[in-house]
Structures are given as C-alpha cells and as structure tokens.
Amino acid sequence: MPNDPIRDPVPRNRGIYLLPNAFTTAALFAGFFAVVQAMGGKFELAAIAIFVAMVLDGMDGRVARLTNTQSAFGEQYDSLSDMTSFGVAPALVAYQFAMVDLGRWGWLAAFVYVAGAALRLARFNTNIAVVDKRFFQGLPSPAAGALVAGFVWLVQDNRLNIDPAVLGWTMFTITLYAGIAMVTNLPFYSGKSFALGRSVPFWVMLVFVASFVFISSDPPIVLFILFIAYGLSGWVMWYVRARKAKSMRLKLKE
C-alpha cells in the first residue's frame, strides 16, 4: 500500500549533501589530529588543530544555510564531530599536557569537561527549536575547547613561565570552569544574527580586516584573551538581564 498515509509518511530527503558535510569531516579530522598529536607530546600542534576545527565547525552550518543544504543527517553528524573535536580532544590535550601529575584530580577535571560537552550538545539538540537563536544557553563547546587549547598554546609558545605544580592546577581550573560553564544557563552571544549573505556597511569590512591583522600579530596571546573574555561574557550578560528584570519589577510595583 504505497499511498497509505500511516505506512508511507511524507517522504524525506535521505541524500547526504557533500559540501557542508565535507567541512564537518574536516573539523572531525582536526579534532582527531589534535588527539594524536597530544599523545605524541606535540601539544602546540594539538592546540592549533582544535582552533582549526573550531573554524571549520563554524563554516559547515553557514555553508549549509547559504546553499540551502541543511539536513537531519548533517545536524547529527555535526554534533558527533563536535563531541570529538571540542569534547574529547580538549580534555585529553589538557590532561596529557599538565594534569597527569595531579592524579585522580586531573582525570576527574578532564571527565567533568567531557561530560559537560556531552550534556551541552544533547541539550542544544533538544532545545534547538525553542531557545533564543541570538544567544547560546551555556558556553558553546567550540568556545570551551578554544579556551582550553588557547592556554596550552600560550604556554607552549613560551609566553608563560609557570612552575609545573602551578601549571597543573591552573590547567585544572580552566578545564573545570569550561566544563561547568557549558551546562549552565548563562547566555552567550551566538553571532547567528550576522548573515553572510546580507549587505553591510563598508566599516564592517574594515573591522573584519582589522580583526584578522590583530589576531595574526600574536595568535596565542590574542586568541586566549578573546576566549577568556567570551568565556566570562555570559556572567556579564546574566548580570545585565538580572538588573533589567529587577528594574522592571520595581516599576510594576510603583
């Protein structure tokens, strides 16, 4: 009974779009590459690979929207890729880099991070249709991975001379914070309101170019500072919203 509405629901496109999923595959490879490099003690390459994965992950969704090639397969594949590149990879890099000597505290911090990433991605997938698209609920996993990888890259670039004992607990604190921040309800700006296909003023292009120049001047320091600021921005936004809500309640009482 091919026309039975119960047995034959609205047909779905079961094809796999190549272009956006190619970016997702590249991001997955970068995350896997980071794990391999960390196991070999090449932590700077591992940290850079996580940043590369972050860039590729940001491109696959935009490419899918621009080319109108979104699919349920792509959404699930992207989440699995994110779990590898921004869940497992940063935790393993952080543990191998500075937390091995902390014993159980080291691997517990790494596990909190992995669990936070898994919970964050699961919540994102289930709430994707009901949340405010302008803001993420909790620190997004790519930003959490960049926060961890940024610190590793900064230290490996010989910009910070830290005692090994202090280094381990600093890495512990950053990893634990990133893991917990992912499962909070703090609002973090998503940037999804910025459309690539929309015309923008000329000054926006100048700012875009200036940002590239600024980051390329000293990538380890600049990127770490940027993601530290982003990682704390959720608290600022939460405070601003709380103040506005309190002000509204006071006005209603008057």
Q: Is residue 195 part of a domain?
A: yes
Q: Is residue 122 part of a domain?
A: yes
Instruction: Output the pTM of the full model.
Output: 0.85
CATH number for the domain including 101? 1.20.120.1760
Q: Is residue 10 part of a domain?
A: no
> Structural domain tally of the chain?
1
Q: Is residue 8 part of a domain?
A: no
Residue-wise over 161-195: b if at least 16 C-beta within 10 A, else e? Answer: eeeeeebbbbbbebbbbbbebbbbebbbeeeeeee
Q: Is residue 181 part of a domain?
A: yes
Q: Is residue 234 part of a domain?
A: yes
Cβ contact 28:81 at 8 Å: yes
Write the pLDDT tens digit of every residue in 172-183. Answer: 999 999 999 999
User: In which domain, by residue range, is 183 found?
Assistant: 18-253
Cβ contact 37:49 at 8 Å: yes
Q: Is residue 152 part of a domain?
A: yes
Write the pLDDT tens digit of every residue in 1-59. Answer: 444 444 444 444 455 677 888 999 999 999 999 999 999 999 999 999 999 999 999 88
Q: Is residue 206 part of a domain?
A: yes
